[in-house]
Each structure stands twice: as C-alpha cells, then as structure tokens.
Amino acid sequence: MNTMMSKLLKPLSLAVLLAFVIGGMTTLPVLAQDYKESYNAAIEAAKAKDYTTAYSAFVEAAKLADDAGDKEIAQRARKVAAQIDYNTGKQLVANESFDEGLKRFEQGIALFPQYSNNYSGKALALKKLNRDDDAISAYQELIDYGNANNDTQAVREGEKGIRDHYIYLASSALGRSSEPSASDARDAIGYIEKLQEFVEPDADIYFYLAAANNTLGNYEEAIQYADQALQLHSGSRSDAAKIHFVKGEALMYNGNTAAAKESFQSATFGSYKSLAEHYLETL
C-alpha cells in the first residue's frame, strides 16, 4: 500500500487477520460461520469509518461466502467493496493521485462489474492522465454495461462523457483564434464526425458543423446544418441564439440579406445580442 493510501485508509484489524488465518484451517461448516463473522466485522468497521479494515473484510467475506455457497452475501460484500473502491478512487483523483485513483476504479470494476460508478470514475482518471482514447473506451464500457443491464442512466452518462469530450475539442478548434482557419474548421468537423460514431446527432453536433462549414465557405451546407440544429434544439432562446447567428452569417455571406436579418433578429439574446444587433444595423 503506497504512502497516499496509507494516509487515506487505516490498516487491517487483528480480528480480520485472525479470521483469515483460521478460515483456511477449518471445515466447511465453520467456514460458513466465518464468512458471516467477516461480513459483520466489515459492517462494523465501515460504521466506524475504518474503510481499510472494512474493505479487506468485505473482500474476504465474499470469498468465504463463495466457498460456502452463499451467493447473496458474496454479492453484497463485493458491491460494498466496489463502492469503497469508488469513493477511495474519487478522493485520490481529487488529490491529483490519478494513477492510484485509476487503480482503485479498475479494482472495483473487476470486483463487482455491476457497480457502474467505477466506469465513470475510470474515465475521469484517464482524462486527467491525458489518455483520451482510453477514456473514451471507458465511457464505451459504461454504455455497454448500461445496454446489457437495461440501465438507461448509465447509457446516458457514457454518451454524455463522449459527447462532452468531442464537443469540447470541436469548440476549441474553432476558438483557436478570432478568425478560425480552414484547418481549424476541418479539425472541428473531424471531431464531430468521430463523435457521431458513438452517439446520435443532436443540436450541438449540427451547430458545430454549421459553424465549421461557414469558415470553409460552404454556406449552403452551413444553412442546412443550422436548420437541423434548430429542429432538434429544446433549450431557451438564449441557447438557440448561437444557432440563429451562425445561420444569419451563412445567409449573409450567401447573399440572402432579407433572410439573414430574420436570423440575426432571432439571435438578439444572451451573449450574441450585441453581435446580432451590429449586423442588423449594418445590413
């Protein structure tokens, strides 16, 4: 156990260590009693916030319960141990011990794959380590788990993690300078195309495709993507303003001044208000 983990968690109690030693030397009926004792000891340690002892006791109880044929107790013990892995891993990540946090999340997944939080924790730790491709794979694991277990929340969380990642990259590409280059636009389109390998198109996807195509001078395509974004958009007028603004620019550059004014008028909300009003005054 490393130094950081020693600070976070306390050492195993003598009672649990003795239970482990004696358990290997007894017959099956006594073994069955030992797993109950280990399980109860784990619960008491958890109540006392001695999570090192609790974790080891839950893991040991699970093994002994397997030997005794008590699948219910084995599953319960593994689930709680996986929860401890998650909470410990989350604290390690918060303390910037990303590698150690990752180990705990992976340990939790191996111990009890049905506890989905460890997949999202694993993805977060990988992102902190700048292992973006591995993080995407972790989010895909979460989606696969959700689909296999009819867990729609896990599916949504996995898809959101992937969507947020690629949307951030596309936004960053287009925001590298006040006037994005054709190379920036192509990078953004590449990120969005990669995103569409994982999720269904939404308003954000079409918005960034519209913005990138504006930069490339593909104004007809930009208008079409903006219209698709508006069809799928379900937020406020302020949220929709960016889509109307991008469409207005495409219409303006494409020579359709009247339609551009209509789009800019719809963009006069939130952070796009002054920019849209500028175009309305000058068109």
- Span 11-34, average pLDDT: 38
Is a pLDDT exceeding 80 seen at residue 45? yes
Is a pLDDT exceeding 60 seen at residue 22? no
Q: Count other C-beta atoms under 10 Å from residue 277's C-beta.
A: 14
The CATH number of 201-283 is 1.25.40
Q: Between 51-68 and 14-23, two packed helices, what is the crossing angle to 10 degrees?
A: 20
Is a pLDDT exceeding 90 seen at residue 34? no
Is a pLDDT exceeding 90 seen at residue 133? yes
d(CA 213, CA 186): 9
In sequence order, the 6+-apart residues with CB closer than 8 A to the CB of 115 are 79, 82, 83, 86, 108, 109
Is a pLDDT exceeding 50 seen at residue 28? no
- Global pTM? 0.77
**Whether 158 contacts 146, CB under 8 Å:** yes
Which of 17-21, 69-73, 80-84, 156-160 has the least mean pLDDT? 17-21
